[in-house]
């Protein structure tokens, strides 16, 4: 497959602001209930500044309900707080980069209260360092991180992300027992014809997992998800007893924390949509059959998490219970 020089093309962008009172109500309701179970989705962009090339200069962050990504935006543009959509509950936080990388990252939490509204307010670097609440613990690099999605390029042996897209629109919704991000990629081109892809990432007010629903305008081969691969960290591939669901998982010292701690990562996927497992240079990848729709789950479990999982055996015990549930009920 021929290597292509890639360029992002976007149309005119829009922003749908949450009213200050509506956003404050969501956050204050969670905070005033103390340690009660919650879910939260967040999207925050700057206003009041200006674009200089690919950098957004000045301005202040404001939470929004929906945004179409502007043409100038790329990685490290400082336009979107912590660079993407945030999903959080009592146990863990995640972010999906809203740029060409389209990777999912993990915010490890040492507390069981809401933290995302304060993350990234003072720039990029602070949340990469140990803090009372926790920190960004996953180095995604040039991979899809944990549980994100792209298209497997078999000839070049890597996961292609979202380098050519006509427009990307993202929105966040907070409901009673779950919160989700919905992203609409128009004109996503990898090789051959462009397609539209819609994704929905839902976090619940319980456990660590996120449910991912993908829908493509036309069936494509090579649609893939996976987990960033680290040297000397083995991967497990396990199929459920009823052969309906399976998972790939890793566990070990694979975090950015400045101490010897452990992180477990997993993707649960439906067997009937599975084509093959591939280990690229940087990713343990699950490649799906030529599909139009597919749903799967991912989660990360950090050993420093408040009241969390602290050993490899605990981690895999938890995964196997979830796999049994999926194999039986088809959902978590």
> What's the pLDDT tens digit per position in 41-85?
999 999 999 999 999 999 999 999 999 999 999 999 999 999 999
For range 320-331, the mean pLDDT: 98
* Cα distance between residue 134 and residue 123, in whole Å: 16
Checking if the pLDDT of 25 tops 90, the result is no
> What's the confidence (pLDDT) of residue 19?
54
What band does 13 get if pLDDT is binned at 50, 70 and 90? low
> What's the confidence (pLDDT) of residue 24?
73
Q: Yes or no: say if 269 and 296 are a contact pair by the CB < 8 Å rule.
A: yes
> What's the confidence (pLDDT) of residue 312?
98
For range 19-23, the mean pLDDT: 62
> What's the confidence (pLDDT) of residue 163?
96
**Contact partners, residue 284, CB within 8 Å, separation at least 6:** 226, 227, 228, 229, 235, 248, 250, 277
pLDDT in tens, 231-284: 999 999 999 999 999 999 999 999 998 777 999 999 999 999 999 999 999 999
**Contact partners, residue 201, CB within 8 Å, separation at least 6:** 85, 87, 94, 96, 180, 181, 183, 210, 211, 212
* Cα distance between residue 171 and residue 15, in whole Å: 10
Residue 271 is given by DSSP the state: G
Q: What percent of the chain has pLDDT over 90?
A: 87
Residue 256 is given by DSSP the state: S
What band does 21 get if pLDDT is binned at 50, 70 and 90? low
Mean pLDDT, the chain, rounded, equals 93
* Cα distance between residue 31 and residue 33, in whole Å: 5
What band does 18 get if pLDDT is binned at 50, 70 and 90? low
pLDDT in tens, 309-318: 999 999 999 9
Helix (H) or strand (E) holding 22: helix 20-32
Strand ordering across the sheet containing 92-97? 39-42, 84-89, 92-97, 104-109, 134-136
Of 254, 19, 292, nearest in space to 138 by CA = 254
> What's the confidence (pLDDT) of residue 2?
35
pLDDT in tens, 144-156: 999 999 999 999 9
Alpha-carbon separation of residue 119 from 44, 94, 115, 258, 285 (angstroms): 11, 12, 7, 19, 30
What domains can you pick out in the chain, each with its CATH number? 15-329 (2.70.98)
Instruction: Kindly report the pTM of this predicted structure.
Output: 0.94
Longest C-alpha distance within the chain, in Å? 56
Checking if the pLDDT of 192 tops 70, the result is yes
* Cα distance between residue 58 and residue 48, in whole Å: 7
């Amino acid at each position: 497959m021929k290597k292509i020089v890639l360029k992002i093309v976007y149309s005119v962008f829009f922003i749908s602001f949450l009213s200050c009172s509506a956003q404050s109500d969501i956050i204050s309701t969670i905070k005033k209930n103390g340690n009660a179970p919650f879910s939260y989705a967040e999207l925050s962009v700057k206003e009041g500044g200006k674009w200089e090339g690919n950098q957004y200069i000045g301005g202040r962050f404001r939470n929004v309900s929906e945004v179409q990504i502007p043409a100038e935006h790329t990685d490290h543009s400082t336009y979107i707080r912590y660079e993407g959509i945030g999903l959080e509950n009592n146990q863990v936080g995640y972010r999906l980069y809203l740029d060409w990388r389209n990777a999912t990252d993990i915010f490890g939490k040492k507390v069981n209260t809401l933290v995302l509204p304060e993350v990234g307010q003072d720039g990029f670097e602070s949340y990469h360092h140990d803090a009372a609440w926790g920190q960004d613990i996953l180095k995604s690099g040039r991979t899809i991180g944990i549980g994100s999605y792209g298209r497997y390029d078999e000839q070049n042996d890597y996961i292609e992300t979202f380098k050519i897209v006509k427009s990307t629109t993202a929105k966040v919704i907070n409901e009673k027992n779950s919160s989700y991000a919905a992203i609409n990629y128009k004109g996503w081109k990898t090789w051959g014809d462009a397609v539209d892809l819609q994704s929905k990432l839902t976090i619940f007010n319980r456990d660590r997992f996120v449910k991912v629903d993908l829908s493509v305008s036309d069936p494509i081969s090579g649609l893939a998800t996976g987990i960033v691969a680290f040297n000397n960290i083995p991967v497990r591939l396990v199929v459920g007893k009823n052969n309906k669901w399976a998972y790939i998982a890793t566990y070990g010292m694979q975090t950015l924390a400045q101490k010897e701690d452990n992180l477990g990562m997993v993707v649960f996927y439906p067997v009937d949509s599975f084509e093959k497992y591939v280990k690229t240079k940087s990713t343990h990848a699950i490649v799906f059959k030529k599909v139009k729709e597919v749903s799967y789950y991912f989660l990360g479990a950090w050993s420093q998490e408040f009241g969390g999982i602290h050993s490899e055996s605990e981690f895999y015990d938890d995964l196997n219970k979830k796999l049994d549930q999926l194999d039986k009920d088809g959902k978590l």
